[in-house]
Amino acid sequence: MSDRIPVTLSSEEIAAVRSWIIHEDASTIAFAKPAGLSSQGGRIKAHTLDDLLWAFARSNGKRPDLVHRLDRDTSGVILAAKTKPAAGFLGKAIQAHKLTKTYLALVSAAPEPRSGDINVPLVRQEIGRESYMRVAAFDAKGAQGSRSRYRTLSSSEDGALVELQPFTGRMHQLRVHMAHIGRPLVGDVRYGGALTAAGRGASRLMLHAVSLRFPHPDGGERTVTAEPPEDFRALAEAMGLTL
């Protein structure tokens, strides 16, 4: 599937990416991406998940390709296509908004109301070498419609666990939307999130892609899930929240 130059991987990297597999069939392969690993590109001179997919290259040089991305510090489910027809099918499914992505996030206080829809346009802004998204007026130049749903699953004096679903796929969408309603995600330095919760430091952006439901290239639908990693679980527990 990919005509790019193969990347040489260490045996440790190959073992790691294989250990992250949570679903595999003839057309698709899904991983539980760890936080701190870029999906693609990025300025950090380290192998990305996209690079690591060379571990699955076939003798003809073809290899799986990612069909969507997660932010570097977001953990959880990410999907790749193993064949060109599967990549085309899933690409069209994404354009038609037929994938259902569900995330878990930690915030410093339960939203008010405890559940709702956030439907505000976002515009991309470059500050130095960094890209940000910000809420904009509907008629602002470059504004793109964006919509998310949130639901509070558990709350305590130290914060809340929320379930998030994006209906559009804008960069940093969930992070900006939650900051917009005054509940930035714990550990989200870029958008004003608290760096501590329940007296503990947040090791990263506390956002986890817990499940992905998608139409399958071979027919029907599949749902793939990834349990929250230890850092997320430990902080939620310290905050008195039920996962």
Residues with catalytic annotation? Answer: 71
Bridge-based pairing state of the strands 75-81 and 207-215: parallel
Residue 220: count other Cβ atoms within 10 Å of its Cβ. Answer: 6
Assign 3-class secondary structure to the chain.
CCCCCCCCCCHHHHHHHHHCEEEECCCEEEEEECCCCCCCCCCCCCCCHHHHHHHHCCCCCCCCEECCCCCCCCEEEEEEECCHHHHHHHHHHHHCCCCEEEEEEEECCCCCCCEEEEECCEEEEEECCEEEEEECCCCCCCCECCEEEEEEEEEECCEEEEEEEECCCCCCHHHHHHHHCCCCECCCHHHCCCCEECCEECCCCCEEEEEEEEECCCCCEEEEECCCCHHHHHHHHHCCCCC
